[in-house]
A and B are shown apart, each in its own frame.
Chain A
Amino acid sequence: MKMHPRQAAPVSIDIPLISNQEVWLNIALIRQYHENMPRGEAERIAINALQRLGLENIAYKRNPDLTNEERFCAMLLRAAMVRDALIIIDRPFKIITHLKDVNYIFQAIEKIEDFYSSCHIYDYEWLKEKYGALCQ
């Protein structure tokens, strides 16, 4: 499959949410900017996406008010808003530091699988135990 660089949609601790904007605006921004989608429609899509992960309550919160899980999901949804997104999750355990295994991350990815074309996780080899059977 041929990839376009614009499809790359990273989820990384080094690519934070915009802290002076609410979560829904961080997610909606991608569609608003790239596709000139009207604010109302982009907001509805962002809220629906948050509802899929059971996180509609964080829509109007800002980055500093989020838990690590909420922050990860917001970053994941922002990445998923890229058209035909190639989601690249960079060291997820640096974002959700207390997770014991990768199940939470997989569940989140599965719930939004129709939003992206592919998803890849990159992490240190010495963390392979956390990925269980996937790395066997």
Chain B
Amino acid sequence: MTFLENIGRSTVKLIQSFAEIISFAGKVLYRICKPNTYNSATRTILVNQIYFTSVQILPAFITASVIFGSLLIGIVFQLLKNLGLTEFFGNVLMGLIVTELSPFFTVLLITLRSGSAISTEMAVMKVNREINALETFHIDVVNYLLVPRIINGIISLVLLSTLFSIVLMSGGILFSRVIFGMSIDVYSNILLNSTNFSDIVIALVKCACFGFFITLIPIRFGLRASHELTSIPIVVSRGMVSVFTAILIIEVLSLTTKLI
């Protein structure tokens, strides 16, 4: 009985936590859509956040994209040639690597770099009573702290994932010449013919969802910190586990959409 009770309790807790995140997401989405959310202060934070997340990471991101992307493209092209599937390389590149792998690779990098930072930042602000300070001066915490960070997450994910795809496709020019002896014109034609508009839309929507949740969940967990320093590592680690769960759920949903 105790075993069953424990399973039941854990399930109820999990469902409650999921429902809470979804309700919080709804509240934040509503604020994002409200025009009076935006003012000079939120715009300043948004610009700063985009700089921290998308611009500062560029050298490391481009280096990682070139190294990882080139190796991957090289291996995939070599494999296709060995299997005699050369004519399908456009479909594999666009349908699998660009629309599936790019968002996934980008979200992992951004989560590792920014997810934990956002969660810690919020928790430290809570512990230091800086959140109370904002409320005391009638500054709405959702409008001022959450909305710019979440919009930044969406914009950064879409832009960086696009950049990763461009790096991959540029690497493909080199490997298609070396492995298949293909000219740039032929390579470009094959890529254009293999591009499916709906796949691109799904990839962009997926990037936006990733961006939304990898900032929303760390913020939510960061704000759950108590006024004690010891609560910071607890909320940060719980937040990161939840973020990775959300990434998996979004990935599964996107793959299911593609299958249907």
A residues touching B (Cβ–Cβ < 8 Å)? 6, 9-10, 14-20, 25, 29-30, 32-34, 36-39, 42, 78, 82
- B235 CB to closest chain A CB (Å) equals 17
Task: Name the contact of A34 in the complex, choosing from B129, B132, B136, B138 (C-beta under 8 A).
Answer: B138
Interfacial chain A residues near B42, Cβ < 8 Å? 33
State whether B133 touches A20 (Cβ < 8 A).
no
B39 adjacent to chain A (CB < 8 Å): yes
The A-contacting residues of B in range 119-176, CB under 8 angstroms, are 121, 124-125, 128-130, 132-134, 136-139, 144
**Whole-angstrom CA separation of A32 from B143 in the bound complex:** 13
**Whole-angstrom CA separation of A118 from B95 in the bound complex:** 66
Known contacts A32-B40, A36-B39, A37-B40, A16 near B128 by CB under 8 Å: yes
State whether A39 touches B124 (Cβ < 8 A).
no
Q: Which 3 A-B pairs have the closest CB atoms?
A: A32-B41, A33-B41, A32-B40
For this complex, 15 residue pairs linking A to B, each with C-beta atoms less than 8 Å apart, are A10-B136, A14-B129, A16-B129, A16-B130, A18-B125, A18-B134, A19-B130, A25-B44, A29-B41, A30-B137, A30-B139, A33-B139, A37-B40, A39-B43, A39-B44
Interfacial chain A residues near B121, Cβ < 8 Å? 20
Q: Which residue of A lies closest to B137 (CB)?
A: A30
Q: Which residue of B lies closest to A18 (CB)?
A: B130
Chain B interface size range:
20 to 34
Interface of B is mostly: helix
Knowing that A33-B40, A33-B42, A38-B40 touch, tell me 10 more A-B residue pairs with CB under 8 angstroms. Answer: A9-B137, A15-B136, A16-B129, A17-B133, A19-B124, A19-B125, A19-B128, A25-B44, A32-B39, A82-B137
**Whole-angstrom CA separation of A36 from B124 in the bound complex:** 27
Interfacial chain B residues near A15, Cβ < 8 Å? 129, 132-133, 136
- A47 CB to closest chain B CB (Å) equals 15
Interfacial chain B residues near A17, Cβ < 8 Å? 130, 133
**Whole-angstrom CA separation of A7 from B132 in the bound complex:** 17
**Whole-angstrom CA separation of A118 from B50 in the bound complex:** 40
State whether B128 touches A39 (Cβ < 8 A).
no
- A11 CB to closest chain B CB (Å) equals 11
State whether A39 touches B40 (Cβ < 8 A).
yes
Interfacial chain B residues near A33, Cβ < 8 Å? 39-42, 137, 139, 144
- B215 CB to closest chain A CB (Å) equals 16
Interfacial chain B residues near A29, Cβ < 8 Å? 41, 137, 139
Interfacial chain B residues near A36, Cβ < 8 Å? 39-40
Task: Name the contact of A42 in the complex, choosing from B40, B130, B136 (C-beta under 8 A).
Answer: B40
Interfacial chain A residues near B125, Cβ < 8 Å? 18-20
Interfacial chain A residues near B129, Cβ < 8 Å? 14-16
Interfacial chain B residues near A19, Cβ < 8 Å? 124-125, 128, 130
The A-contacting residues of B in range 1-51, CB under 8 angstroms, are 39-44
Q: Which residue of B lies closest to A75 (CB)?
A: B133
Q: Which residue of B lies closest to A43 (CB)?
A: B44
**Whole-angstrom CA separation of A33 from B133 in the bound complex:** 14
Q: Among B40, B125, B134, which residue has the most Cβ atoms of chain A within 10 A?
A: B40
Interfacial chain A residues near B133, Cβ < 8 Å? 15-18
Q: Which residue of A lies closest to B136 (CB)?
A: A15
Interfacial chain A residues near B128, Cβ < 8 Å? 16, 19
